[in-house]
Amino acid sequence: GENVEQHPSTLSVQEGDSAVIKCTYSDSASNYFPWYKQELGKRPQLIIDIRSNVGEKKDQRIAVTLNKTAKHFSLHITETQPEDSAVYFCAALSTGGTSYGKLTFGQGTILTVHP
Amino acid sequence: DAMVIQNPRYQVTQFGKPVTLSCSQTLNHNVMYWYQQKSSQAPKLLFHYYDKDFNNEADTPDNFQSRRPNTSFCFLDIRSPGLGDAAMYLCATRGQGNSPLHFGNGTRLTVT
């Protein structure tokens, strides 16, 4: 089955700096990669996603890159703000065999943005 | 407007007393998921349905069962809750193709 590794587990930055979170996946049949932001006690919220036919996607201060050959994808947040502080999860959607339709999450990154 | 609705938001049950968590959706999505999330951890998939096709994760305990009587509703039954089953339970849905999951607000289960 799919295995998603996420690094770092914690990330502390100053307001205005950039933050980068990296993930690797194992299943070459995975073809959809969302990123979720989760605040304490709340549900995960989709912030950006990328499909395997695209190498990069950007939405205002957030961007995601995907390297299918290397099986890794990254989240980039520029001009960070204190309200960006949360736990971020990467995920990969499997399309192969018995794992079809299964979304596997990375371990999560606790991002803290200091004012 | 809420599209994936979980009830209740908070559930307290006694050790060993069966409990059922419910999820409904207005999106007409054919895929529904149940995830368990413990504090400071990633959501862990318990089951998912592709229409009526049920997929059970290999490491989901037998104590956990699920029912999906129709497209809109899905239930998680915990037959004999233990203290280790205290967690947030998240329901999610997904439409066709490579589309995002839509999560409900979750049910936080406490076992006393």
Q: Region B62-66: what's the mean pLDDT?
A: 95
What is the spatial distance between Cα A67 and Cα B86, in angstroms, rounded to a whole number?
Answer: 38
- A76's CB contacts (< 8 A; 6+ apart) are A18, A19, A20, A62, A63, A64, A65
**Minimum distance, in Å, between the CA of residue A111 and any CA atom of chain B:** 13
Is the minimum CB–CB distance between A106 and chain B shorter than 8 Å? yes
Asked if residue B104 lies in contact with residue B5, where contact means CB atoms within 8 angstroms, the answer is yes
CB contact under 8 A, A103 and B42: no
- For residues B33 and B58, the model is more confident at B33
pLDDT in tens, A33-76: 999 999 998 999 999 999 988 899 999 999 999 999 999 999 99
Using the predicted structure, report yes or no on whether residue B1 has a pLDDT greater than 70.
no
Work out the number of other CB atoms within 10 angstroms of the CB of residue B62. 8
CB contact under 8 A, A49 and B100: yes
Supply the pLDDT for residue B62. 93
